[in-house]
Amino acid sequence: MVEAELMRVSIIGTGYLGATTAACLTDMGFEVIGVDVDEAKIDMLRSGQVPFYEPGLDEILTENMKTGRLRFTTSFAEAAEFADLHLVCVGTPQRDDSGAADLSYVNSAIEQLAPHLTRPTVVVGRSTVPVGTAATLAARLATLAPVGEEAELGWSPEFLREGFGVEDTLHPNRIVIGTESPRVEKVMRALWQRQINEGVPFLVTDMQTAELVKVSANAFLATKISFINAMAEVSEVAGADVMQLAEALSYDDRIGGKFLGPGLGFGGGCLPKDIRAFMARADELGVEPALSFLREVDAINQRRRARTIDIARQLIGGNFAGRTVTVLGAAFKPNSDDIRDSPALDVASTIASLGARVTVYDPAALDRAREEHPQLGYAPSMLEAAQDADVVLLLTEWAEFREANPKKLGAVVAQKKIVDGRNALDPTYWRASGWTYRALGRQ
């Protein structure tokens, strides 16, 4: 194995995680090759374009393409020839037929890479997988690789937040490596030397613990969001204000204020599917009761969507049929164009199915939304989307919406009625501008 500064890394899977990791590792001085089976994606990356919206990634990718240390390919043989370390960064979406994780991309990455491994190599998985997967893959890798057990596997979960992918890769809050192999540990220490020197905690665990760290972190975050959303449900009927409640809780530093934002709840490509896959795995392991609370976490989250629709329906007099509805936001969260399990689009589609004319505006996710939900209307700006609206729903808290001018918006709508699904606006200010303002968890 060569020294750190000369280490060549392959990144298998060039989606959100892989493309970000590839660009950042090149920036850290490594030679990197990105591998994907999707030729269109590889062509885009080769021309220096990022196939999705991620602040700062374009710049870091373009800059590092110029160094000649970053390239992309569809050939596993080329990646195996080039790299000493392979990082598996493919997706593990929810299966169509159950809540469990679909491991076909992870399995296929190992199966396509292994036959080309003819010299001692380290393969480290970064994808989120059910506990126990890595051990199975390690055995499979050694069986399929010509170099046999000299092809070693470890697991190292990532904790990237969309919208902050570059920052979270270059400055992670911790690095966890699941391995019992001194060689895997050595290679990963070399990879993250700069971060270790900067004081980032570096934890070496067994593979099972490393796999569990990721899913339990996401389960905890989902639980925290659903906890405050459960308090929102109680607040609404008890006459309390969940925003003040959340603020008061946040000053207790054992609780903290992060991920305590009440509203429409969580979506995206991680939290929802990860808690479901975690429950499915617990079931397989015979410890289903240990995670049955996550069913409730999921249910609270889904109820937020239904409650948002109820509030909008009440505001327009009980029936959506024939009404004009504006939805601000399509991405599952701001600063992203990701619409996977987007609460905003789920609410918009349901309202459209109840007979309303729904027009959606989002600063980044319109193209993706239009492709997946052609039945909805789309507008190129907030004001155009709000034209003649009977009710406006703010469902993704982009800065543009937080800073919206109630007077300008009030001038184009038919009725000044707004549902603030993210508790992102100042109710006093909006009411003073003549709006009927409603939010989740408040009076």
| Catalytic residue list | 270
CB neighbour list of residue 343: distance below 8 Å, 6 or more residues apart: 264, 265, 266, 267, 304, 305, 332, 395, 421
Is residue 441 a contact point for ligand UDX (CB under 6 A)? no
Is residue 427 a contact point for ligand UDX (CB under 6 A)? no
- Residue with the closest Cβ to ligand UDX? 261
The residue within the footprint of ligand UDX, chosen from 161, 183, 189, 431 (CB under 6 A), is 161
Smallest distance from ligand UDX to CB 173, Å: 9
Q: 121 vs 133, which CB is nearer to ligand UDX?
A: 133
Q: 208 vs 223, which CB is nearer to ligand UDX?
A: 223
Smallest distance from ligand UDX to CB 218, Å: 6
Is residue 398 a contact point for ligand UDX (CB under 6 A)? no
What residues numbered 352-381 form the site for ligand UDX, per CB under 6 A?
none
Smallest distance from ligand UDX to CB 68, Å: 30
Q: 89 vs 117, which CB is nearer to ligand UDX?
A: 89
The residue within the footprint of ligand UDX, chosen from 25, 100, 153, 271 (CB under 6 A), is 271
Q: What CA–CA distance (Å, rounded) separates 274 from 346? A: 19
Q: 169 vs 415, which CB is nearer to ligand UDX?
A: 169
Closest listed residue to residue 75, CA positions, set 39, 41, 125: 39
The C-alpha R_g of the chain, in whole angstroms, comes to 24
Residue range at the interface with ligand UDX (CB under 6 A); choices 98-106, 117-125, 200-208, 261-269: 261-269
The residue within the footprint of ligand UDX, chosen from 22, 42, 225, 425 (CB under 6 A), is 225
User: In what helix (H) or strand (E) does residue 202 lie, and over which residues does it extend?
Assistant: strand 202-205
Q: 154 vs 263, which CB is nearer to ligand UDX?
A: 263
The residue within the footprint of ligand UDX, chosen from 260, 300, 385, 393 (CB under 6 A), is 260
Smallest distance from ligand UDX to CB 159, Å: 4
Q: What CA–CA distance (Å, rounded) separates 121 from 125? A: 13
CB 406 within 8 Å of CB 436 = no
Q: 42 vs 345, which CB is nearer to ligand UDX?
A: 345
Is residue 211 a contact point for ligand UDX (CB under 6 A)? no
User: In what helix (H) or strand (E) does residue 339 lie, and over which residues does it extend?
Assistant: none
Q: What CA–CA distance (Å, rounded) separates 338 from 330? A: 9
What residues numbered 299-338 form the site for ligand UDX, per CB under 6 A?
332-333
Q: Rounded to a whole number, what is the largest CA-CA distance in the chain?
A: 73
Site string for ligand UDX, 113-152 (x = CB under 6 A): ----------------------------------------
Smallest distance from ligand UDX to CB 151, Å: 27
- Return the sign of the alpha-carbon dihedral for residues 244, 247, 252, 256: positive
Q: What CA–CA distance (Å, rounded) separates 185 from 149? A: 16
Q: 64 vs 396, which CB is nearer to ligand UDX?
A: 396
Smallest distance from ligand UDX to CB 200, Å: 15
Residue range at the interface with ligand UDX (CB under 6 A); choices 175-183, 257-265, 309-317, 424-432: 257-265
Q: What are phi and psi of 253, to 5 degrees?
A: -75, -5
Q: Quick check: helix, strand or coil at residue 108?
A: helix
Is residue 24 a contact point for ligand UDX (CB under 6 A)? no
Q: What is the 3-state secondary structure (H, E, C) of 362-385?
A: CCCCHHHHHHHCCCCEECCCHHHH
Is residue 394 a contact point for ligand UDX (CB under 6 A)? no
The residue within the footprint of ligand UDX, chosen from 82, 266, 398, 435 (CB under 6 A), is 266
Inter-axis angle of helices 271-284 and 293-315, nearest 10? 150
> Around 38, how many Cα atoms within 13 Å sit in the side-chain half-sphere?
14
b/e sequence 407-423, b meaning 16+ C-beta within 10 Å:
eebbebbebbbbbbbbb
Is residue 259 a contact point for ligand UDX (CB under 6 A)? yes
Q: 191 vs 225, which CB is nearer to ligand UDX?
A: 225
Q: What CA–CA distance (Å, rounded) separates 279 from 341? A: 18
Smallest distance from ligand UDX to CB 261, Å: 3
What is the rounded (10 degree) CA torsion for 35, 41, 42, 45? -110
Q: What CA–CA distance (Å, rounded) separates 157 from 173? A: 12
Binding stretches for ligand UDX (CB under 6 A)? 158-162, 218, 221, 225, 259-261, 263, 265-268, 270-271, 332-333
